[in-house]
Amino acid sequence: PVYLGPSGSGHKIKMLHNVMEQAEMEGIAEVANMALNFNFDPQHTFRTIRDGLTQSHLSDLFTNMPKEEIESRDAIVGGGDYPRMALEIAQEMDIPFPEVAVSYWVRVISRVPEEERDKAIDEAIKAVTSEFKKMKDKEKFRYGFQTLGALRHAFGGHK
């Protein structure tokens, strides 16, 4: 057991865990889609990538998934609403959370019928744009930028 703070802290940690998990799944989906558009086998691409710094359990799940399982899916199903909850909390606190906004909206878009996707995409553009605009207040995302800089440096100084 780990003490995380007052009542409700554990739930907030769980919410943040699920937000990170959703963002990783979104990243896997985007990279797999791009690999396919490069005429690469997406799963082979991930088998190649996972030996670097981007190892993850979710990547391993994807690389070992039967192609039929992937191709039979049309939308994201199941799961909680942690991205929505986290985004609402960030909005209440006026803290930028752009990747979570993108992840939340991609999740929403993936769940609506195909004939309604254009409307959902238009809503997403407005919502995500407002999240990025919050980053103009340098204090609100200072630690986020510092973290990105530190990770880039640790990853080899990529600029």
Instruction: Determine the average pLDDT of the residues in 114-129.
Output: 92
Q: How far apart (Å, rounded) are the C-alpha atoms in residues 14 and 26?
A: 18
User: What pLDDT is attached to residue 120?
Assistant: 94
* pLDDT over 80 (residue 80): no
69: confidence class by pLDDT, cuts 50, 70, 90: confident
Residue 101, CA distances (Å) to 43, 84, 155 in order: 27, 8, 26
Taking residues 95-117, report their average pLDDT: 86
Q: Is the pLDDT of residue 25 over 60?
A: yes
The whole-number pLDDT of residue 142 equals 84
Burial (CB < 10 A; 0-12, 13-18, 19+), residue 148, is exposed
Residue 60 Cα to chain centre, angstroms? 17
